[in-house]
Amino acid sequence: MRKVFKYEVARRGQEPTVLRLPGSATLSRVDVQDGRFMVWGGVPTGLPADTEFEVFVVGTGDPIPDDVFVLNTFFEGPLVWHACVRILAVPSHLHVGKTHSGVTHGC
């Protein structure tokens, strides 16, 4: 079984947020809720949190490393933000693949 959870994400210019979740978790989007950046994702229950997902936000035109993917673009008033994800640690028993939305996750 999966449940949808949300986690607060650091704002641009702050240290990235590191989420320790099961490898088969899927992050779906980052957006603004009550003035804070939040990420939502489907997280399987009852599995070990064995994978680290680094989530950070950049502005349009900011550089992003080659080893991350852009999860989504979102708006905060006139500002346009881009949520990026890097998978830091994947257990060897998981195969890493891409979903239709480009989100890397364990299969």
- pLDDT at residue number 96: 52
- pLDDT at residue number 89: 73
- pLDDT at residue number 67: 95
Alpha carbon 31 to chain centroid, angstroms: 11
Banded pLDDT at 93 (limits 50, 70, 90): low
- pLDDT at residue number 92: 62
End-to-end alpha carbon distance in the chain? 15
Contacts of 28 (CB under 8 A, 6+ apart): 4, 40, 41, 42, 71, 101, 103
Please write the tens of the pLDDT for every residue from 29-40.
Answer: 999 999 999 999
The helix or strand, by DSSP H or E, that contains position 105, with its residue range, turns out to be: strand 104-106
Mean residue pLDDT across the chain: 87
- pLDDT at residue number 84: 97
Q: Which residues pair with 73 in a beta bridge?
A: 82
Burial class (CB in 10 A: 0-12, 13-18, 19+), 57: buried
* Cβ contact 3:43 at 8 Å: yes
In this model, does residue 17 exceed pLDDT 70? Answer: yes
Please write the tens of the pLDDT for every residue from 58-78.
Answer: 999 999 999 999 999 999 999
Q: What is the pTM of this model?
A: 0.80
